[in-house]
A and B are shown apart, each in its own frame.
Chain A
Amino acid sequence: MQINPNITPNILADLQQSQSMLNSALQQVATGRSVSVPSDNPAASAAMVQNTIETGNVDQYTKNISTVLASVESASSVLSTVVTALTQAVSLGTEGANGTTNASDLKAIATQMQGILSTVVSQANASVAGGYLFGGTGTSTPYTEDTSSPTGYTYNGNTDATSVVVGDTLSVQVNLPGSQIFSDPSNNVLGSLSSLVTALQSGDTSGIETATSSITSAIAFIGERQAFYGNAENQLNSQDTFLQQETVSLASQATNLVGVDEATAATNLSQAETDNSAALAATAKVLPNTLLNYLSNPS
């Protein structure tokens, strides 16, 4: 059998292959990715869909946390201020209930109490970034003065709670409506403060005592509400930490799936370059080689 005399198709195929290896090595170095289209690695491409969506979600969960954490922290500090005010109110009430206090002193205490009441009301109307902390999801000022109400104030907010999605299966309730903190039927903080003011103004000692004791129990009640916010804050913070780890592991998963190790890519590229030059050099040597080169011209 004669040897295949026509090596051109072989040479062309080899050159094409070495060129395409060079191209793909170059692309990997240039893009830093080993998978550009799904056919490069179908399984990795499918896994990357999941990875992209999860990464997007984790980013959004993190944003959600930072959005609501501010309001949860404010709410928590507002409640601390309220507890301080209430403690002050209890001591004023105790002072007023003391039978030795005279009428003018009681009036002075009543004025002080009125100040505390306004402080608590203004705290209950606190807002962060345009939204009321204790108005449910309503957009109107939570508490306004209302002389017809026995407590002196009307709640204008709603009873809606906001739950924020901060994980694939985790959503955290981040607010309590004011009606469950400041005007709860079982422990009406604003009502107790108002009746203390009224009792002090009228010098009603037993009224002062009743109001003071209900404010004392309100301190414990507010403390429970504080625990709610503290708990939400803890949950959000620990979820934030988890999400940071998740971001890192998703990023490393993405690198494993479609990324390319720079050192390997660079080595591959230089290997492909060498192969390509070798193939070209060999072609240049082989192609012009025929018997005709060695025959002398016919005389």
Chain B
Amino acid sequence: MGGLNATLNIGVRALDAAQAALDATSNNIANVNTPGYTEEVAQLSEDPLTQSGGEITGGGVTMDGIQSVQDELLDLQIQQQTSSQSSANTESASLQQIQTYFTTTGTDIATALTTFSNSLDALSASPISTATQQSVLSAGQDLAQAFNTTANGLTSAQSSANGLVTTSVAQINELIQQIAQLNGQIEQLTNSGQNDSSTEDQLNASVQQLSGLTGISVTQSKSGDTIMTGNGTPLVMGDQSFTLQTTTGSDGFQQVLDSNGSNITSTLNGGQLGGAIQTRDQTIPGMLSQLNSLASQFSSSFNAAQTQGLDSNGNPGLNFFAVPTGSAEAAAGITVSISDPSLLAISSVGTGSSNNNVANLSAVLSQALPSNSVSSTGGNPSAPLATSTPLTNGSVTSIADASTGATFTFTAGASSTIASLQAAIASAVTAGTLSNGTGLSFNAAGHVVISTTTTGDTLQVSSSDTVLGQFNSTSGKTPANAYASLVFNIGNAASNASTQYTALGKSLLQLTNQQSSVSGVNIDDETANLIRFQTAYQAGARIVSTIQQLNTVALDMGSSQSY
């Protein structure tokens, strides 16, 4: 039915629409600083035309609902970048903590090496002075302590990364339970045909938070988000969450298990958890092993020099440093094993040279360390290595055989093992390119010593061609060089992690900018909208009051009372 009532109806709908738009606008303004909030827009559409008595009139406006403005692709990108950035941040924080042990502070290894080297040089000038002997002993103790402190610094950073694994897993579990609940709510609302943008905002905020904890892949659907780790372990499916567990592994560190109890530690990357695992299981162990081989090689070389001389009482020198048998604790456990300065092996065996062994002791600091020895009993390993031991670092190249003029070359590759080197040596001996005793020399223990003049690498093999030593990254370097390369590695890792963090921060800022420009609330826009909808409301109200007046006029028609 046309007429005034229809128009009044249009007016009321206009008021409703303006009211809803004002609601959305005020909600936007109220949430301008709420994290995860997406701008809401009232969806208006024109009502179907009505036809009355041959006339077609408009049907007014309908409020379809209030919708959030989102870009899901952007959300996913932001989640990924957040994971990577958070991982870099965790790693960078840990490395920043570690690298303070490698700066020149006066108690670091570089300073201790300098003092130790100086004390030996001073000893050569006054070998019989108890004071200079004592200063060698104290400098040695300082050096051992510097090794201990540095190793402890590394392990404490490692255990704080381990602590972070436990807390990250707890946080992840809490979040995935929350996400599963939100998923359930969204599914219910969707099933009942409703659209609740505030629940979705909450869900997005939680997923965003989760992505800072670990790398995830998210699939969005009508019934909420399905979330898996980067490797495909499900975390949330619909309203079900699959909580992670932690258990203490054989190395004493927390291992992460999925809901079925399988160990997924090594497959986790990204986020705070990924960063902590990377730092704990890769970065720090790499540095520790470099430090440990430096400590064990240095101490065994120095002990070898010490035992080759005679002490002030004319007795053969005793070991100067004591290193725990487990090579993994070499740096943490190195100590000075002699306490009496007269036990320093100053003179060498024989006559006519009183302080000649001091030169051998100092030489340990200025000459390349030998290849890593396997046993802890000094230069000569007591037991052969397993033939499957990989030879990854270094190579034996061009050993010239004086008798034949031929050269023997062996380059360790990715799949090289001691067995392959053994085979190469054996076939070279059979072919006559390498003959025992001519191109090779024998040391006191009867081990063949192959040394390459070009690289300074030394490899020990027994006379029966059993390999007893192995290549190590420290071989061919002086203690100072080996330590310097460790400092370089740590500085480089720390600088890479923080550069990565900064770079990811910049790209994340870009993405957040983009997201804001899509879903963010612009106060200016909202203020303008406020005025716009206020005007619309006023105009709607005017329709109503106009119709009311017209109604009054119509009702009063024929009545003489008012006129």
Identify whether the interface residues of B are mostly helix, strand, loop, or mixed: helix
A61 proximity list for chain B (CB < 8 A): 121
Q: Is the C-beta of B72 less than 8 angstroms from some C-beta in chain A?
A: no
Check if B403 is an interface residue, CB within 8 A of chain A. no
- A263 within 8 Å of B by Cβ? no
CB A157 to nearest CB in B, in angstroms, measures: 11
Is the CB–CB distance between B122 and A63 below 8 Å? Answer: yes
> Are B354 and A4 touching (Cβ within 8 A)?
no
CA distance A177 to B16 in the complex (A): 116
Query: Judging by beta carbons under 8 Å apart, are A165 and B354 in contact?
Result: no
Question: Which residue on chain A has the smallest CB distance to residue B109?
Answer: A49
A243 and B403 CA atoms in complex are apart in Å by 43
Partner of A53, one of B110, B358, B523: B110
B351 touching A6, Cβ below 8 Å: no
Given the known interface contacts A5-B525, A39-B498, the answer about A159 and B352 at a Cβ–Cβ threshold of 8 Å is yes
Kindly state whether residue A163 has any CB partner on chain B within 8 Å: yes
Residues of B325-379 at the interface with A, using a CB-CB cut-off of 8 Å, are 347, 351-356, 358-359, 362, 366
Collect the chain B residues with CB atoms within 8 Å of residue A50's CB. Answer: 480-481, 484
Give residues 455-485 of B contacting A (CB, 8 Å): 480-481, 483-485
Q: Give the shortest distance, in Å, between B247 (CB) and chain A (any CB).
A: 34
Q: Does B126 contact A (CB under 8 A)?
A: yes
Known: A2-B518, A162-B127, A295-B527. A46 touches B484 (CB 8 A): yes
Using known A-B contacts A41-B491, A53-B110, A158-B354, determine if residue A1 contacts B518 with beta carbons closer than 8 Å: yes
Is there an interface contact between A40 and B480, defined as CB atoms closer than 8 Å? no
| CB of B125 closer than 8 Å to a CB of A | yes
* Set of chain A residues within 8 Å of B127, measured between Cβ atoms: 137, 162
B205 in contact (CB, < 8 A): no
CB neighbours (8 Å) of A290 from chain B are 523-524, 527
With A52-B110, A64-B124: A165-B495 Cβ-Cβ less than 8 Å: no
Q: For the complex, give the distance between the alpha carbons of A158 and B110 in Å.
A: 38
- Check if A64 sits within 8 Å of B114, measured CB to CB: no
Interfacial residues of chain A within 120-148, with CB under 8 A of chain B in the complex = 136-137, 139
Total A-B contacts with CB atoms under 8 angstroms apart: 180
A295→B485 CA distance, assembly (Å) = 65
Binds A, one of B6-14, B93-101, B218-226, B444-452: B93-101
Is there an interface contact between A47 and B518, defined as CB atoms closer than 8 Å? no
Give Cα A37–Cα B98 distance, bound, in whole angstroms.
10
Contact of A38 among B356, B366, B488 (CB under 8 A): B488
Q: A48-B104, A60-B122, A159-B352 are in contact. Are A42 and B522 (CB under 8 A)?
A: no
Closest CB in chain B relative to A10 CB, distance in Å: 7
The 8 A CB mask of B104-126 against A (1 = contact, 0 = none) is: 10000011011101101110111
Is B102's CB within 8 Å of the partner chain A?
yes
B514 interface residue (CB < 8 Å to A): yes
Option from B102, B354, B488, B524 in Cβ contact (under 8 Å) with A137: B354
Closest 4 CB pairs of A and B: A38-B491, A5-B522, A42-B491, A160-B354
Q: Which residues of B contact A (CB under 8 A)?
A: 95-96, 99-100, 102-104, 110-111, 113-115, 117-118, 120-122, 124-128, 347, 351-356, 358-359, 362, 366, 480-481, 483-485, 487-495, 498, 505, 509, 512-514, 516-518, 520-525, 527-528, 531
Apart from A59-B118, A163-B124: 8 A-B pairs, beta carbons within 8 A: A1-B517, A2-B517, A9-B516, A41-B495, A49-B487, A64-B121, A165-B125, A290-B524
A/B interface sample: 9 pairs, CB < 8 A: A38-B490, A40-B491, A52-B104, A56-B115, A60-B122, A137-B354, A163-B355, A169-B366, A171-B359
